[in-house]
Amino acid sequence: MPDTSTIRLRNLSFAYPNGLRALAPVDLDIRAGEFVSILGPSGCGKSTLLRLLGGLLTPSGGSIEADGDFAGQTTGFVFQSPTLMPWANVEANVRLPHALAATRDSDASARIDHALQMVGLHDFRHAYPRELSGGMQMRVSIARALAKQPRLLLMDEPFAALDEITRHRLDRDLRELWAAEKLTTVFVTHSVFEAVFLSTRIIVMSSRPGRIVGEVTIDQAGEAVTPRNDEFRISEQFARRCAEASRLLNLGMNEDEFRGQAA
Partner 1 sequence: MKYLPYAAPAVIGVIVLALWQLTVTLLDVPPYLVPGPLLVAQTMAQDADLLLHSLLVTLRITALALFFSVVMGVVIAFLFAQSRIIEASLFPYAVLLQVTPVVAIAPLIIIWTRDVQTALVICATMVAIFPIISNTTLGLRSIEPGLLDLFRLYRASRWQTLLRLRVPSALPYFFAGLRVSGGLALIGAVVAEFVAGTGGSGSGLAYQILMSGLQLNVPRLFAALLLITLAGVAIFALTSLLSQLALRHWHESEFGQR
Ligand X SMILES: Nc1ncnc2c1ncn2[C@@H]1O[C@H](COP(=O)(O)OP(=O)(O)OP(=O)(O)O)[C@@H](O)[C@H]1O
Q: Does 73 bind partner 1 (CB under 8 A)?
A: no
Q: What are the strands, taking DSSP E only, across the chain?
A: 6-15, 21-31, 35-39, 61-66, 75-78, 152-156, 184-189, 201-205, 212-217
Could you say which of partner 1, ligand X, Mg ion, none residue 208 binds, taking C-beta under 5 to 8 angstroms by partner kind? Answer: ligand X
Shortest distance (Å) from residue 60 CB to ligand X: 12
Neighbours of 242 (CB within 10 A): 18
| Between 128 and 232, CB nearer to partner 1 | 128
Q: Parallel, antiparallel, or unpaired: how do β-strands 201-205 and 75-78 relate?
A: unpaired
Contact 111, 98 (CB under 8 A): yes
Shortest distance (Å) from residue 250 CB to partner 1: 32
Beta bridge partners of 210: 23
Q: Which of 47, 75, 93, 200 binds Mg ion (CB under 5 A)?
A: 47
Distance CA 252, CA 214 (A): 9
Task: Characterize 138-170 residue by residue with b for buried, 16 or more Cβ atoms within 10 angstroms of its Cβ, and e for exposed.
Answer: bbbbbbbbbbbebbbbbbbbbbeebeeebbbeb
Q: Does 100 bind partner 1 (CB under 8 A)?
A: yes
Shortest distance (Å) from residue 238 CB to partner 1: 33
Could you say which of Mg ion, partner 1, ligand X, none residue 100 binds, taking C-beta under 5 to 8 angstroms by partner kind? Answer: partner 1
Q: Does 99 bind partner 1 (CB under 8 A)?
A: yes
Residues contributing to the site for partner 1 (CB under 8 A) = 51, 54-56, 74-75, 77, 79, 81, 83, 85-88, 96-97, 99-101, 128-130
Residues of this chain that interact with ligand X (CB under 6 A) are: 16, 18, 20, 22, 40, 42-48, 190, 208
